Amino acid sequence: MDPLHLDPGPGIPDGLVIPGADLNEQFARSSGPGGQGVNTTDSKVQLSIDLAATSALSDAQRRRALRNLRPRLAGTVLRVQASEQRSQLRNRVEARRRLAALLREALAPPPPPRRQTRPTRGSVRRRLAEKRRRSELKATRRRPDRE
């Protein structure tokens, strides 16, 4: 199987090449379009990678990927599947694209923490004016005082 190439980006400064030996491809019968050919063609593709065992990731990248992809993992194995296309080849391309997108997103560093800022004077003024308006509106709904 061909290796999977990830272009350089956040968290992957030099790009990443996952050897084909680290990828596991399985094929199965797919539902969906294809007429009677669906019953005879294994066009669904399941592509998986064991993140703990792959040699392509550094220790820091491995930890980040395992942490960020935890809900999607079965143990340490990340699996994607593609069955939308009628052709096995197109489903293979789509599965590789999805796996690359997941890994790229998981390896990206977290965004910097937000610096707290004070509300602007104008926004405070508008908020208080809206509170006064709302209070007056609700006051008109109350029973009048008995005087």
Of 78, 83, 53, 82, residue with least CA distance to 68? 78
CATH number at residue 83: 3.30.160.20
Q: How many domains does the chain have?
A: 1
Q: CB atoms < 10 A from the CB of 111, how many?
A: 7
Query: Would residue 67 count as lying in a domain?
Result: yes
The residue segments making up the domain with residue 9 are: 4-107
Query: Would residue 16 count as lying in a domain?
Result: yes
Q: Is 61 left (phi over 0), alpha (psi -120 to 50) or beta?
A: alpha
Query: Would residue 90 count as lying in a domain?
Result: yes
Q: Is 121 exposed, middle or buried (0-12, 13-18, 19+ CB in 10 A)?
A: exposed
Amino acid symbol at 92: R
Give me the tens of pLDDT residue by residue for the chain, a chain 147 residues long. Answer: 888 888 888 888 888 899 989 999 999 887 766 667 666 778 889 999 999 998 888 899 999 999 999 999 999 999 999 988 888 899 999 999 999 999 999 999 999 999 999 999 999 999 999 999 999 999 999 988 877
Distance CA 75, CA 94 (A): 24
E strand spans, the chain: 4-6, 16-18, 23-28, 44-50, 73-74, 77-82
Query: Would residue 144 count as lying in a domain?
Result: no
Query: Would residue 120 count as lying in a domain?
Result: no
Query: Would residue 21 count as lying in a domain?
Result: yes
Amino acid symbol at 141: R
Query: Would residue 129 count as lying in a domain?
Result: no
Helix, strand, or coil (residue 23):
strand
Query: Would residue 55 count as lying in a domain?
Result: yes
Answering whether pTM is above 0.75, one says: no
